Amino acid sequence: MSRRRVTSKRRVRRRDLLIFGLGGASALVAGGVTLSQAAQGTWVKGNDPVDQPETSPSPTPSPTPPAFDLASFDPQKLVSITQGGWHGWALMDRKTGKVIGSTTISETSRTCSMIKVWLASDYLRTTAEAGKTPSSSRLSAISRMIRNSENGPASDLFDEMGKVTFTRLKAMCKLTDFVPSTTWGACQMSPRDVCRMAACAADGTAAGPKWTEWVLNEMRNVKVGTWGIPAAFPAAARGSLAIKNGWDVTTATQERHMNCLAVTEKWSMTVMTRYPVSLAGDAHGQQICQSVADQLLKRGELGPLFA
């Protein structure tokens, strides 16, 4: 073999090695591994898919609870009264205006002093509408009428305003069962109408924008006649209740009347009782008023209203 041929073969081998080396390097680089990394034994991921973090499935949203609807409850299942005599109760959701109550919810009985809320409100509103301001002595008398349930100021207001005040009461408070009288103390209302009157006082219709809060403040600070509905509430909550009770004896029929009214931003409630004087004293009616309120407060389904 000639020297030229040997040299030629060596050149071919070197060229093949060079080509192989370049091709191998390209393959390694293409695979994501450099020669130096391969030589060092370092493992480097190439085109492997990137690991994705595990995701938890979205929680199933809780169904939206139905809106509170006072009218959906059976009132006969909410309250049970076994004491003797006539009684009636009503509860209003002030947001919707819906009212539920006893089977006697539309029957009427004497309001007694509960109507003083209207007399005070109507007088103050009409005075403001006339561009006048009540004297300090008149305001003091109205305050005593509400807080201490004095009858004299009520008679003075009624004598001054006349029976037209009852016409305004029925129209402005949208009463359906109201029976006016020639005196303020003999007027008759149903439990649902008393609830409406209370709501009418609380929403500003009765006393107007200038005097509503004043009237409600007087009702929140009643000193005489705090039995009944307020007694069913914790002591800390009673200050938020605007109340006015009414009680009397109708001599002609020898019947005792013990009535309660309470109103808050969310609801109004009334309980009315009437029974023979010979049956029991004041405590009988007072206990019925408290029992109705207590039973309503303990009903879990009414929680949204009393919360």
- Please state the φ and ψ torsions of residue 245, each to the nearest 5 degrees: -95, 160
Reduced to 3 states (helix: H, G, I; strand: E, B; else coil), residue 188 is strand
* Structure tokens, 280: 């029991």
CA–CA dist 294, 279 (Å, integer):
23
CA dihedral 276, 183, 172, 296 (to 10 degrees): -20
Instruction: Please count the other Cβ atoms lying within 10 Å of the Cβ belonging to residue 228.
Output: 28
Residue keyed to tokens 């004497």:
110
What does the CA dihedral 191, 245, 278, 76 come to, rounded to 10 degrees?
A: 30
Spatial CA neighbour of 255 closest among 231, 230, 272, 271: 272
CA angle 258, 112, 171 (to 5 degrees): 125
Q: Is the CB of residue 262 less than 8 Å from the CB of residue 269? A: yes
The pLDDT value given to residue 62: 74
Gap between the Cα atoms of 278 and 268, Å rounded: 31
Q: pLDDT truncated to tens, each residue of the chain (307 aa)?
A: 444 444 444 444 444 433 344 444 444 344 444 444 444 444 444 455 555 666 667 777 777 778 999 999 999 999 999 999 999 999 999 999 999 999 999 999 999 999 999 999 999 999 999 999 999 999 999 999 999 999 999 999 999 999 999 999 999 999 999 999 999 999 999 999 999 999 999 999 999 999 999 999 999 999 999 999 999 999 999 999 999 999 999 999 999 999 999 999 999 999 999 999 999 999 999 999 999 999 999 999 999 999 9
CA 207 to chain CA mean position, Å: 23
Rounded to a whole number of angstroms, the distance between the first and last alpha carbons of the chain is 112
The β-bridge relationship of strands 188-189 and 98-101 is unpaired
pLDDT at residue 18 in the model: 39
Which single residue is written with the structure tokens 């090695």?
A: 17
CA 67 to chain centre: 12
Strands (DSSP E) contained in the chain are 86-93, 98-101, 109-110, 188-189, 242-243, 246-250, 255-263, 267-276
CATH 3.40.50.2000 at 70-306, yes or no: no
Q: Which residues of 119-142 are buried (b: 16+ CB within 10 A; e: fewer)?
A: bbbbbbbbbbeeeeeeeeebbebb
Is the distance from CB of 206 to CB of 166 less than 8 angstroms? Answer: no
DSSP annotation of 133: -
In one letter, which amino acid is 218?
A: E
Q: Provide the pLDDT for residue 51.
A: 58
